[in-house]
Amino acid sequence: MKLLPDAVGLTREEVPVTDLAALNGALPHYQAQVVFNCAAYNAVDAAEGEQDAAYQVNAQGAFNVALACAEHQARLVHFSTNFVFSGAHDRAYVESDEVGPLGVYAKSKLEGEKLVAMVAPRALIIRTAALFGGDATRSRLSFPERIVERAASGERVRVVSDQTVNPTYAADLARAAIALATTDMDGVVHVVGGGCSGWDELARATLVEFGVAGTIEPVSTSELGSAAPRPRNGCLESTRTQPMRPWPEALREWAARRRQAEPKSP
């Protein structure tokens, strides 16, 4: 299968995943052969008090996209999360490991996975973790961007130190997802940046790459007091595909690109 060269990115305002009629109108209109469902309610802490909103997007929305893809014979690539695991393992999770979501966000994403698999068994479900990267036009900043902003303003930067993840560069994930979409692979696959890191380690590396002075104060999960429970071990590995490049290398490239794009002082 070859992807269409004129790919189209649609916002949630243009085609909400909660609107099945809109999806059924958009897919034939754009002659969609492959659909990448990147939509997610990913405000992890807020989801604890907004369960209906989280399930509407992460579960019902995923179900709607799968229904539309099945109706119009489009290949579906659906994105999920490392949060579907409990984090109790002392090693990275692989695709065949038992799931055990802890909070509302995690449970809603797992429900989305199940609904996609039920409606579109040939769909590809990509679990990923700790995304960073993108441009400066987005309203919501990724974790490294928030760290830079806070440190640059002189703010006290407290970062959890007892949770591990795979920092994943969004551009690397996009390339990997496109490549996998052209294969016959279906089911669940883990696609993350190479290597695991504590959030505090990622924060310190970010400040180094951006040349920003600041001190990262490590704190425990219990000290931070977040509303939603999170897996202590959020690291993934894959038995189905090759690992992406190490996360420090990807972070370095992204930081260099962002610095080059910054407006020069007169």
- SS3 string, 212-240, reads CCCCEEEECHHHHCCCCCCCCECCECCCC
Comparing C-alpha atoms, which of 180, 242, 189 is closest to residue 34? 180
DSSP conformation class of 190: E
169: β partners: 132
22 Ramachandran zone, left/alpha/beta (phi>0; psi -120 to 50): alpha
189: β partners: 126
Give Cβ neighbours of residue 170 (< 8 Å, ≥ 6 apart): 131, 132, 133, 134, 142
Task: Indicate if 169 belongs to the active site.
Answer: no
Point out the catalytic residue in the list 55, 93, 105, 169: 105
118 contacts 133 by C-beta, under 8 angstroms:
no
Comparing C-alpha atoms, which of 263, 251, 265, 231 is closest to residue 85? 231
Mode of pairing for the β-strands spanning 124-128 and 75-81: parallel
Q: Which positions are annotated as active-site residues?
A: 105
